[in-house]
């Protein structure tokens, strides 16, 4: 594996509107868009209509049933339908939907727990040497599960994508020794059986993952790579062997042949926590992530390996943790994230979008005890959906939808203790979440604009 790293250096505050960095390491100036050739076919779903971003008029180029002239019956939104995936204790779940509407889930699986005395609970830190990685697939309404990585200490910060042939690609990290060294891992069944790799073996600590895969199997993983820092700092407990360590937002990129290269999108301070990643209809990568030290900014990067435009979305207060990102058919960016309450205890779920050309920021909901995660999706009618968990309210999974009247919030489920994930595809929201009783799957049908006229029906 070749390791190619381009150090862009810390981005000072305040940031200019954008910065375009090239592979050779100098700035060519400021542009709100990075002009690049498409990496995916302009008609990705093969329905005869090119994507909006490719100059066509297909408002959902991931679904061949959606295009101008398609039948568009009036549909009903909701209700939620919930079913069990497995009764095995689970953590860090991820969800994706492949060709034909086949739903996939990846998760860290705990062994059966038999505490002594029986009334004692089994906590994760008591079983941290036993977590393994598993994959579940839903076909014709039935779930089947398989072991992906049976090594202990694996399956944290799991992310999942499915390629155009229906093969799964999973990113996660594994604690591999007693010094808190953590290895980025990648697994796929594209070869017919599960194969596991370490994309960045040179990284002593690599975690917090997000994954994207093209139909040809080319993979991009975003993660936090701890590279150097001052050992006198106490804000990051994961410094290895007392060496200076600092954090970078890193990308591990594999071509269709499986050759990995490593790139640092941005280095400095405490970067790379909770990276969120999405690709638009022409293959451009979009990243949202916080810079926790020293600026506490929400950052946004757009481009491809070797060329990035980086800007600050919000810089007031402690913002940007628990990031999630979605790109709509017109290329507008939508980000969900947390902001700590500056007046005291609690956090706020916030929403930012650049639809209209400038960043607009709104409050979704403020809660006392939010879990460190949000997810966001935009449906074909342009409605924004945000999900998050409030530990203080029965550990409830909450679904917020943006309407003309503001944000409308409902509770999907309670007792969500081990994380969740959400995707929107094929006319529905798909959510997996972990409870004390195992892993659950929830589906929320959406009214869709199947003929791309801006309306349902």
In a domain? residue 65: yes
In a domain? residue 265: yes
Strand partners, 397: 389, 413
The CATH number given to whatever domain includes residue 370 is 2.120.10.10
In a domain? residue 289: yes
pLDDT of 237:
46
In a domain? residue 242: yes
* pLDDT tens by residue, 383-416: 999 999 998 878 999 999 998 889 999 999 999 9
* pLDDT tens by residue, 269-299: 678 788 999 999 888 999 999 887 666 789 9
In a domain? residue 456: no
pLDDT of 117:
55
Expressed as residue numbers, the domain containing 91 is: 20-445
pLDDT of 9:
29
This prediction's pTM:
0.83
In a domain? residue 174: yes
In a domain? residue 194: yes
pLDDT of 256:
79
| Residues in the chain where the model's pLDDT stays below 70 | 1-40, 72, 74-76, 113-129, 176-182, 204, 227-245, 269, 293-295, 342-346, 456-457
In a domain? residue 5: no
pLDDT of 432:
98
* pLDDT tens by residue, 98-137: 998 999 999 998 877 655 555 545 554 444 457 889 999 9
Domains identified in the chain, total number: 1
């Amino acid at each position: 594996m070749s390791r190619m790293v381009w150090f862009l250096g810390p981005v000072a505050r305040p940031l200019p509107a954008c910065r375009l960095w090239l592979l050779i390491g100098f700035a060519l100036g400021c542009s709100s868009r990075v002009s690049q050739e498409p990496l995916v076919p302009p008609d990705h779903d093969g329905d005869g209509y090119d994507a909006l971003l490719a100059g066509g008029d297909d408002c959902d180029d991931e679904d061949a049933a959606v295009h101008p002239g398609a039948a568009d019956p009036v549909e009903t939104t909701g209700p939620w339908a919930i079913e069990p995936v497995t009764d095995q204790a689970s953590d860090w779940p991820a969800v994706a939907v492949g060709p034909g509407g086949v739903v996939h889930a990846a998760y860290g699986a705990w062994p059966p727990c038999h505490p002594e005395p029986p009334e004692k609970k089994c906590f994760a830190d008591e079983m941290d040497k036993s977590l393994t990685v598993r994959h579940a697939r839903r076909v014709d309404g039935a779930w089947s599960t398989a072991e992906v990585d049976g090594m202990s200490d694996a399956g944290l910060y799991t992310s999942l994508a499915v390629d155009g042939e229906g093969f799964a690609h999973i990113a996660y990290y594994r604690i591999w020794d007693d010094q808190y060294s953590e290895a980025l891992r990648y697994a796929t069944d594209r070869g017919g059986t599960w194969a596991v790799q370490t994309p960045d073996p040179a990284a002593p600590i690599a975690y917090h993952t997000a994954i994207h895969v093209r139909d040809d199997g080319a993979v991009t993983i975003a993660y936090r790579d701890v590279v150097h820092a001052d050992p006198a700092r106490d804000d990051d407990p994961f410094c290895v062997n007392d060496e200076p360590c600092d954090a970078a937002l890193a990308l591990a990129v594999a071509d269709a042949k499986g050759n990995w290269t490593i790139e640092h999108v941005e280095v400095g301070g405490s970067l790379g926590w909770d990276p969120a990643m999405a690709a638009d209809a022409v293959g451009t990568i979009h990243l949202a992530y916080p810079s926790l030290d020293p600026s506490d900014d929400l950052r946004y990067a757009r481009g491809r390996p070797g060329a990035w435009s980086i800007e600050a979305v919000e810089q007031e207060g402690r913002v940007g943790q628990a990031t999630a990102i979605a790109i709509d058919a017109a290329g507008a960016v939508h980000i969900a994230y947390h902001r700590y309450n500056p007046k005291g205890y609690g956090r706020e779920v916030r929403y930012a979008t650049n639809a209209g050309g400038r960043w607009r920021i709104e409050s979704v909901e403020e809660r006392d005890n939010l879990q460190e995660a949000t997810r966001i999706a935009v449906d074909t009618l342009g409605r924004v959906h945000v999900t998050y968990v409030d530990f203080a309210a029965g550990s409830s999974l909450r679904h917020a939808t943006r309407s003309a009247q503001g944000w409308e919030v409902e509770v999907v489920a309670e007792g969500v203790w081990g994380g969740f994930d959400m995707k929107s595809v094929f006319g529905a929201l798909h959510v997996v979440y972990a409870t004390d009783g195992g892993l659950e799957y929830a589906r929320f049908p959406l009214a869709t604009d199947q003929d791309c006229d801006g309306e349902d029906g």
